[in-house]
């Protein structure tokens, strides 16, 4: 088996065509008499490196050994001479999956490993920068297939290279680098176990799963493998309580390719299931095409497919707020503001409008309500409507109108804000879910002035990607109060916005600061409703690309205050400047806060009239916007490594 890189392929083609590297027949060269070729250029060589790059020219698996030919260069692309160290592993494909036995295993051993110190090994210089490494592996035969891994260098002078997956069998794993690093982002840069073992392929791309499987194969140590934890156990067991509303049985989150098992005793199944489970045995035995992903998605326990179908086949619309002077209230003057929510099913050939009132009475829906918000400078700045004063009107077409008393005179602090409505409809899923764990649809209306005239379409800066929440919170349910994880948590903004001084477990105000704190700040120390710690703290907080795939433009953040009770606790409402509020959610020690305050930031301004119209004094973007001398991208990761 031979792998040719582009550099060597070009030389081979040139030689085959009889083309000189200098483009001449040699007659004009310094020593070109009689057509004799002139001296070729001598590429620079070095004896040390800070980075060691490896170009694998070929490898051959033979009886009892694996032979590699490769070239190494340093960070400046200079050829490296004086290499003294190399090591290689081969984890073999067996009837039980990938395995590499330790020398101490007393059964039939498979695979192997070797370094330059192994008896019978040789590391030979072929030319400047070019080497041959013969790695003795007694249990390997010419027909052995498996994952082959190589690394060279190490010591004081020549840095150790990245681990390289030289070859691997087709379909050897059904998870991918992309699915793992959707959460871990760049495992090689993490603080988790063995980050330095993160491997690349011969094209220089991260091959995370194959690199891990070289040691953590499908066979555990006591059964002839290398590590006690197989890759399946790491994925299936170690991630079961990864995060609130993370369903390990939503296999599609990690398994991009079909997972075909023919026996419950096979790889993966026995990690979670008893091997004598007759029902599951029967299901697996019924078809050689059995895809374990689909089986778990259909599981009645989690109802994942049902929730996915509900979300895929429904949507809602929300009308702009409008005045209805016929409304009568017990404690308020006649008249008020309304918005109308309609629910549609798109499952058939043509979409159908559903009757919200009937579905609510039947228990199919557990919630169908709305709020009227203040809207200023593309931000939600609170709710001027009195809490608990809403009344519902069921319309003949099946829509529902939700109405509040007239706003003028009730709360004069919103006189400079326009109005926008948000609605939420929730499908019930479980008998004991309290109405929250179903599937919700939230939508926002156009914006109107205080006479009901449209001023603009709804806009709200939302700097996260659509799937930034559902990558981890993958079970298609809601968080709480019917807020959905879809669309990057856009539903949450209806309650957690610039004008709602929510406590959020005393984490932070607003949406962005709350998310930062609940995952990596003071709010992360709290436990979820099941008593589990917030496991997002195990991930690198600086891996902002998990949510902010398009980066962050600090200059685009509206320069207006947000309500900030949660920074202080109790019932005292204050104001905070927005960048300071977001940064302080994680960087919350005294020195960090002092730095922010010195640059005009604040978390404890007293609330003033028309507070949402007042500009702040923070100047964070001057130094920390992307591209600046202390740009945010220099300290946080906004690009993926794959």
CA neighbor of 419 nearest in space, from 370, 454, 464: 454
pLDDT band at 570 (very low <50, low <70, confident <90, very high): low
β-bridge mates for residue 49, sequence order: 158
Q: Could you give the angle at the alpha carbon of 41 between the alpha carbons of 39 and 45, nearest 5°?
A: 130
Mean pLDDT of 412-430: 89
pLDDT tens figures, 311-340: 999 999 999 999 999 999 988 889 999 999
pLDDT tens figures, 169-203: 998 998 999 999 888 888 998 888 899 999 999 99
pLDDT band at 368 (very low <50, low <70, confident <90, very high): very high
Task: Examine the pLDDT at 96 and tell me if it is beyond 50.
Answer: yes
Q: What was the pLDDT predicted at 15?
A: 35
Mean pLDDT of 20-28: 38
pLDDT band at 568 (very low <50, low <70, confident <90, very high): low
Let me know: does 214 contact 100? Beta carbons within 8 Å.
yes
Read off the tokens for 310: 């509900």
List the domain boundaries for the chain. 8-35, 47-235, 239-301, 303-462, 496-642
Length of the chain: 642
List Cβ neighbours of 119 (8 Å cut-off, separation of 6 or more): 136
List Cβ neighbours of 162 (8 Å cut-off, separation of 6 or more): 54, 151, 198, 199, 200
Query: pTM for the whole thing?
Result: 0.79
- The whole-angstrom separation of Cα 579 and Cα 456 is 26
CA 73 from centroid of its chain's CA atoms: 33
Q: What was the pLDDT predicted at 564?
A: 85
Task: Examine the pLDDT at 36 and tell me if it is beyond 50.
Answer: no
Which of left, alpha, beta for 131 (phi over 0: left; psi -120 to 50: alpha)?
A: beta
Hey, CA dihedral for 332, 333, 334, 340, is it positive or negative?
Answer: negative
Percent of the chain with pLDDT over 70: 85
Least confident of 202-206, 327-331, 393-397: 327-331
Task: Examine the pLDDT at 302 and tell me if it is beyond 90.
Answer: no
> Taking all residues of the chain, what is their mean pLDDT, rounded to a whole number?
86
Task: Examine the pLDDT at 497 and tell me if it is beyond 50.
Answer: yes
pLDDT tens figures, 123-169: 999 999 999 999 999 999 999 999 999 999 998 899 999 999 999 99
Instruction: State the distance between the two ends of the chain, measured CA to CA, in whole angstroms.
Output: 27
Least confident of 203-217, 270-284, 419-433, 462-476: 270-284
- The whole-angstrom separation of Cα 555 and Cα 558 is 8
β-bridge mates for residue 447, sequence order: 456
- Number of neighbours of residue 89 by Cβ within 10 angstroms: 23
pLDDT tens figures, 585-631: 889 889 999 999 999 999 989 999 899 999 999 999 999 999 999 99
Mean pLDDT of 275-289: 65
Least confident of 93-102, 111-120, 419-428, 563-572: 563-572
Mean pLDDT of 464-481: 86
Let me know: does 77 contact 187? Beta carbons within 8 Å.
no
Read off the tokens for 257: 């390719």
- The whole-angstrom separation of Cα 482 and Cα 27 is 83
């Amino acid at each position: 088996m031979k792998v040719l890189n582009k550099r060597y392929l070009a030389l081979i083609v040139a030689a085959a065509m009889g083309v000189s590297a200098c483009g001449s027949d040699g007659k004009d060269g310094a020593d070109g008499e009689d057509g004799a070729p002139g001296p070729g250029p001598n590429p620079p060589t070095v004896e040390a490196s800070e980075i060691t790059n490896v170009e694998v020219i070929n490898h051959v698996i033979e009886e009892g050994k694996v032979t590699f030919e490769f070239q190494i260069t340093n960070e400046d692309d200079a050829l490296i001479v004086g290499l003294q160290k190399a090591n290689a592993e081969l984890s073999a494909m067996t009837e039980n999956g990938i395995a590499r036995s330790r020398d101490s295993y007393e059964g039939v051993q498979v695979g192997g490993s070797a370094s330059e110190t192994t008896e019978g090994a040789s590391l030979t210089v072929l030319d400047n920068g070019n080497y041959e490494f013969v790695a003795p592996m007694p249990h390997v035969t010419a027909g052995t297939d498996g994952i082959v891994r190589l690394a060279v260098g190490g010591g004081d002078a020549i840095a150790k290279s990245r681990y390289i997956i030289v070859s691997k069998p087709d379909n050897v794993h059904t998870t991918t680098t992309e699915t793992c690093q959707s959460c871990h982002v760049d495992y090689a840069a993490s603080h988790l176990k063995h980050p330095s073992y993160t491997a690349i392929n011969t094209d220089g791309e991260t091959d995370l799963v194959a690199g891990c499987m070289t040691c953590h194969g499908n066979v555990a140590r006591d059964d002839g493998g290398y590590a006690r934890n197989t890759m399946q156990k790491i994925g299936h067991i170690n991630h079961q309580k990864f995060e609130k509303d993370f369903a390990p049985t939503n296999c599609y989150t990690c398994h991009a390719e079909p997972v075909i098992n023919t026996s419950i005793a096979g790889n993966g199944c026995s990690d979670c299931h008893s091997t004598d489970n007759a029902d599951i045995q029967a299901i697996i035995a019924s078809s050689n095409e059995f895809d374990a992903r689909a089986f778990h998605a259909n599981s009645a326990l989690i109802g994942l497919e049902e929730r996915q179908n509900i979300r895929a086949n429904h949507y809602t619309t929300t009308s702009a707020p409008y005045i209805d002077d016929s409304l009568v209230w017990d404690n308020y003057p006649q008249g008020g503001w309304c918005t109308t929510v309609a629910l549609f099913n798109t499952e058939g050939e043509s979409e159908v409008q559903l009757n919200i009132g009937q579905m609510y009475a039947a228990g199919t829906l557990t919630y169908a309500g709305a709020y009227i918000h203040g809207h200023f400078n593309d931000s939600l700045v609170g709710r001027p409507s009195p809490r608990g004063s809403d009344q519902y009107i069921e319309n003949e077409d099946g829509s529902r109108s939700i109405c509040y008393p007239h706003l003028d005179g009730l709360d004069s602090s919103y006189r400079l804000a326009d109005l926008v409505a948000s609605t939420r409809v929730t499908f019930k899923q479980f008998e004991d879910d309290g109405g929250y764990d179903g599937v919700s649809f939230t939508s926002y209306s156009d914006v109107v002035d205080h006479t009901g005239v449209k001023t603009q379409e709804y806009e709200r800066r939302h700097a996260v990607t659509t799937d930034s929440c559902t990558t981890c919170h993958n079970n298609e349910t809601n968080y709480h109060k019917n807020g959905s994880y879809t669309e990057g948590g856009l539903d949450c903004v209806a309650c957690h916005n610039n004008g709602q001084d929510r406590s959020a477990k005393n984490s932070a105000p607003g949406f962005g600061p709350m998310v930062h704190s609940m995952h990596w700040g003071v709010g992360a120390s709290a436990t979820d409703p099941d008593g589990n710690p917030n496991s997002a703290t195990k991930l690198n907080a600086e891996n902002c690309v998990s949510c902010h795939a398009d980066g962050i433009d600090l200059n685009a953040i509206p320069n207006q205050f947000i309500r900030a009770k949660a920074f202080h606790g109790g019932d005292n409402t204050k104001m905070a400047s927005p960048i300071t509020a977001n940064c302080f959610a994680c960087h919350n020690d005294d020195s960090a806060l002092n730095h922010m305050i010195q640059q005009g930031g604040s978390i404890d301004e007293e609330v003033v009239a028309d507070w949402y119209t007042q500009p702040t004094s923070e100047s964070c973007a001057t130094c920390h916007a992307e591209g600046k001398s202390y740009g945010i991208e220099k300290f946080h990761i906004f690009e993926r490594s794959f």
